[in-house]
Structure formats: structure tokens, C-alpha cells
């Protein structure tokens, strides 16, 4: 909340009005003590928040990191500002008999809910409104950036193992439950639930704690109530028991049956599949709800990346990129490159260059034998085309590749500098420094 302060003034964006109205709703709901009425108010909040991000999306220019921040912050702040501005209104409510402390907490919670809910539809709207890859990517970062504000970090939301990457996405919705602090990402799921209806799915519901900086997700309503009661509301008062419903949200995850090949055939490029695909590159679970996460996952990976470079919808060969990186040095059994998904130039060239950029450029560093890398070699490494992304079968196949324009150590360094060749070349093996 403190971070929202400076933004309050600037929160009068295009979406500010809607958010403000949502804030009013949220404020009212916060003061309301009837659960049923609460739900009704929350529904209204959701309705408003569904509209608002679209507006905002349409008007906010997508820029780089500054863009995300500047967008996400207003989203957050708008709700908070709107809510705070409505405190007097709510205070005037005839049934505001709570203690000041309780009211304050309600305000916080209302702001939290509004903020999170207003952010959620952003996930889906970008692919729909802006089919461009940059749009889809940017929106992801943008909204997830907003999520960071009220939650603990960006990368720790999801606890699946990136190391267990498999080219084929495996359906595992249960991983949602395992994450200790999803935070707003669950709202993202919720947003996905609102708009992204997938064809066939089995419904599965989880319950997320809306308490600030908690975000605990449980699979049973009883459990989440107990969690809220014990962890947040404290023992006892019937009031707190009644408010349990307000401090958690039910999230129905539609577990879509795993498609063997999540290809672009089912959906148009630039929509959910991009996220799914790029997500698949990260070993993501596949699921209608999780596709929303997918849209975020790359952010966490690419958050450290400078600029607009981020996974793009074209990342269909991403899995194979991993494969290549891990099989690239099989001959000498070098330590596999820690793939930190560095989608440099990904948006421009698709996925295949990525492995070359990350894998090969890192190769000299990973190799046990240290040597200086010439400029020409660096250029080769960076610009080498990989018409066919290497697949695991590549190491098995013994067919001879055409030489083409491949530059090998012999060509690069010449026979006179044989000591600079890669080991494989010196051994008359397949060159590992400049693999095709």
C-alpha cells in the first residue's frame, strides 16, 4: 500500500474511472458483513474489473520495462486510491460498527481484492485485442508486474521444477496447489476462468487466500477457511468467522485434457497458444487455466532480460532447443549449459536461434578448455543459422550432414592453429564448437 501512495495522483488513467467504480464497489463490500451480499458485491467488482483492463490496454502504449511498471502501478494504485477515496462513504454507512482496526483491515483487503481482480483480465485481453506477439508478451509482463506489488516476488510464485522440462507439456494442475505463494497469479487464473473457456475440461476448484502477502492456495474450502481463521483472523470472534468467505476466493481450474501436440492448429497465433508454447518450453503444465500461468511464466524467466526480448509465440521448437543444448556437448560430456531461457532475438527469429545464442555463445565458457574467442567466431556463433533445430535423435542418427557453409574449427583457425580447435575437431570427431 505504501508503494501505491505516490501513484495515487497518477492513477487517473483511462481505466481509472472503471477502477474507481470498482473501488467503490470494493469499499462497500468491505464494509458489508453479509456473506451473501459480499459475494454479490464481489461479482460486481469483477464485472467492473473485466472492463477496465481492456480500456487500459487500449490506451496504454506498450513500452519496455518502464511501460510495465507504469501500467501496472496505476492498476494497483487506482484501486487503492479509489478505495481510499471512498473510505468516508463507507464510513458513513449505517452499519459500519467495526473497530477502526477492523475497518482499516477491510480497506486493505478491499484494495487487495480490487487490485487483483482488476488485473486479472489483462491476461486474456491482450491476445484477443492485440494479436501481435509483442502485445501478448508485453501484456503478460505488465500485469504480472502488477501482481508483484502485492505479493512476494515474481519468480517464486510457482514452484514447479523448471529442471524437469519435458518437450511435451504434461498436464499437472495440481502444481498450482504446491506453490506456497501464488499471490496474484491466482487471480490471473481467475481471469482466465472468466474469458478463456477451453473446449473440454474437467473442473477443479482451489481456494486461494486473499490475505495480503499470503496467497495460500488450498483445495478445500474448509481448509482455506481454517487457514484464514487461524493464520489471519485470529481465534475466535464470530465476526472473523463470517469474514472467512471474504478472505479467500474460489478458483475453478479447468483441467484440459493434454493435447499430445499443442500445436498452433487449434488456435490462432498470438493468442493463448503462444503462451502455452513458450510455457511448454519451460516445462509447463498444460491446462486451460494454466495457460494463463503460461503467459506469465516466461516473464519470470525473462524478467532479468533487458528490454523487450521475451518469449514469443513462435516458440514451437523451444523444447528442441533445450534438447540441443543438452545434447550439444554429449560427445565430450561437457557439463550441460544451464539454460536460463535467454530469448535474445527470439521475437525476431523464432526459437531456433536461441539455443545457438545461449548454448554456443556459452560453449567456450563451459568447455573445460579455455580459449579466446575470436570476433569472427563470435559472429559465427551468433549468426549461425540452424535450419533444423537439433533434436535428441540427432545424436542417435549417424547420417552425415551436408557441409554447406558450416564453419568448423579447421576453417576458422586453420591447420596451423590446430591447438585452438575444439577437441572433437582435433580428434576428427564432429565439431562441437560449431555444430551444424
Residue 127 in grid coordinates: 491476445
The binder of DNA chosen from 372, 398, 416, 419 (CB under 7 A): 398
Number of residues that bind DNA (CB under 7 A): 26
Quote the least distance from Cβ 164 to DNA, whole Å: 24
Residue 275 binds DNA (CB under 7 A): no
Work out whether 332 is an interface residue with DNA (CB under 7 A): yes
Binders of DNA among 37-66, rule CB under 7 A? none
User: By the 8 A CB rule, do 297 and 144 touch?
Assistant: no
Distance, first Cα to last Cα, the chain = 53
CA atoms within 13 A on the CB side of 10: 13
Regarding 18 and contact with DNA (CB under 7 A), the answer is: no
Q: Which listed range, 23-31, 229-237, 295-303, 409-417, lies at the site for DNA (CB under 7 A)?
A: 409-417
Q: Does 415 bind DNA (CB under 7 A)?
A: yes
The piece of 154-162, 228-236, 303-311, 404-412 that touches DNA (CB under 7 A) is 404-412
Does position 200 interact with DNA (CB under 7 A)? The reply is no
Name the DSSP class of 115: H
| Candidate residues 200, 306, 404, 416; the one interacting with DNA per rule CB under 7 A | 404
The rounded Cα 408 to chain-centroid distance in angstroms is: 39
The smaller minimum CB distance to DNA, of residues 242 and 411, is found at 411
CB of 330 to DNA, least distance (A): 10
407 binds DNA per the rule CB under 7 A: yes
- What's the order of all strands across the beta sheet hosting 201-209? 217-218, 201-209, 248-256
One residue of 2, 66, 333, 375 binding DNA per CB under 7 A = 333
Integer Cα distance of 286 and 259 in angstroms: 8
426 lies in the site for DNA, by CB under 7 A:
yes
CA 325 to chain centre: 23
Cell of 13: 488513467
Number of alpha carbons in the 13 Å side-chain half-sphere of residue 295:
36
Rounded to the nearest whole angstrom, what is the least distance from the CB of residue 231 to DNA in the complex? 51
Let me know how many helices (H) and strands (E) the chain has, helices first: 21, 3
Pick between residue 370 and residue 415 the one whose CB is nearest to DNA: 415
User: Within its chain, how far is the Cα of 409 from the centroid?
Assistant: 40
Residue 427 interacts with DNA (CB under 7 A): yes or no: yes
Cell reading at 402: 551436408
Stretch of residues binding DNA (CB under 7 A), selected from 61-69, 86-94, 231-239, 419-427: 419-427
* Minimum separation from the CB atom of position 372 to DNA (A): 19
CA dihedral 22, 31, 187, 135 (to 10 degrees): 20
215 Ramachandran zone, left/alpha/beta (phi>0; psi -120 to 50):
left
Q: How far is the CB of 431 from DNA (least distance, A)?
A: 3
Residue carrying C-alpha cell 481505466 = 15
Shortest distance, position 429 Cβ to DNA, whole Å? 5
How many Å apart are CA 394 and CA 149, to the nearest integer? 45
Q: Which stretch binds DNA (CB under 7 A): 1-9, 87-95, 211-219, 408-416?
A: 408-416
Q: How far is the CB of 407 from DNA (least distance, A)?
A: 7
Where along the sequence are the contacts to DNA (CB under 7 A)? 332-333, 398, 400-404, 406-411, 415, 423-431, 435-436
Amino acid at each position: 500500500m505504501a508503494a501505491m501512495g505516490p501513484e495515487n495522483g497518477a492513477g487517473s488513467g483511462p481505466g481509472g474511472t472503471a477502477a474507481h467504480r470498482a473501488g467503490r464497489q470494493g469499499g462497500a463490500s468491505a464494509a458489508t458483513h453479509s456473506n451473501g451480499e459480499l459475494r454479490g458485491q464481489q461479482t460486481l467488482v469483477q464485472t467492473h474489473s473485466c472492463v477496465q483492463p481492456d480500456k487500459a490496454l487500449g490506451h496504454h502504449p506498450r513500452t519496455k520495462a518502464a511501460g510495465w511498471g507504469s501500467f501496472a502501478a496505476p492498476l494497483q494504485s487506482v484501486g487503492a486510491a479509489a478505495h481510499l477515496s471512498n473510505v468516508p462513504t463507507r464510513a458513513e454507512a449505517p452499519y459500519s460498527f467495526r473497530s477502526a482496526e477492523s475497518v482499516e483491515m477491510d480497506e486493505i483487503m478491499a484494495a487487495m481484492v480490487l487490485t487483483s481482480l482488476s488485473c486479472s483480465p489483462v491476461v486474456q485481453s491482450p491476445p484477443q485485442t492485440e494479436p501481435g506477439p509483442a502485445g501478448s508478451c508485453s501484456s503478460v509482463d505488465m500485469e504480472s508486474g502488477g501482481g508483484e506489488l502485492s505479493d512476494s516476488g515474481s519468480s517464486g510464485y510457482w514452484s514447479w521444477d523448471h529442471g524437469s522440462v519435458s518437450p511435451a507439456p504434461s498436464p499437472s494442475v495440481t502444481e498450482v496447489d504446491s506453490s506456497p505463494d501464488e499471490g496474484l497469479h491466482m487471480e490471473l487464473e481467475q481471469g482466465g476462468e472468466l474469458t478463456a473457456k477451453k473446449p473440454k475440461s474437467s473442473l477443479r476448484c482451489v481456494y486461494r487466500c486473499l490475505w495480503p502477502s499470503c496467497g495460500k492456495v488450498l483445495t478445500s474450502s474448509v481448509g482455506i477457511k481454517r487457514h484464514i481463521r487461524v493464520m489471519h483472523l485470529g481465534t475466535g470472534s464470530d465476526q472473523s468467522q463470517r469474514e472467512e468467505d471474504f478472505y479467500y476466493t474460489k478458483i475453478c481450474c479447468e483441467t484440459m485434457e493434454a493435447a499430445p501436440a499443442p500445436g498452433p492448429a487449434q488456435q490462432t497465433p498470438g493468442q493463448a497458444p503462444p503462451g502455452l508454447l513458450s510455457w511448454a518450453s519451460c516445462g509447463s503444465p498444460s491446462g486451460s487455466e494454466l495457460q494463463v500461468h503460461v503467459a506469465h511464466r516466461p516473464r519470470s524467466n525473462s524478467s532479468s532480460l533487458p528490454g523487450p526480448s521475451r518469449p514469443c509465440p513462435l516458440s514451437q521448437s523451444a523444447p528442441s532447443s533445450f534438447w540441443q543444448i543438452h545434447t550439444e556437448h554429449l560427445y565430450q560430456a561437457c557439463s550441460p549449459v544451464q539454460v536460463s531461457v535467454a530469448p535474445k532475438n527470439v521475437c525476431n527469429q523464432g526459437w531456433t536461434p536461441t539455443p545457438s545464442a545461449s548454448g554456443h555463445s556459452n560453449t567456450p565458457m563451459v568447455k573445460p578448455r579455455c580459449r579466446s574467442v575470436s570476433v569472427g567466431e563470435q559472429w559465427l556463433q551468433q549468426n549461425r543459422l540452424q535450419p533444423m533445430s537439433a533434436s535428441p535423435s540427432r545424436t542417435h542418427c549417424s547420417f552425415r550432414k551436408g557441409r554447406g557453409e558450416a564453419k568448423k574449427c579447421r576453417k576458422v583457425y586453420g591447420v596451423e592453429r590446430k591447438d585452438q580447435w575444439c577437441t572433437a575437431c582435433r580428434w576428427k570427431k564432429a565439431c562441437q564448437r560449431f555444430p551444424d
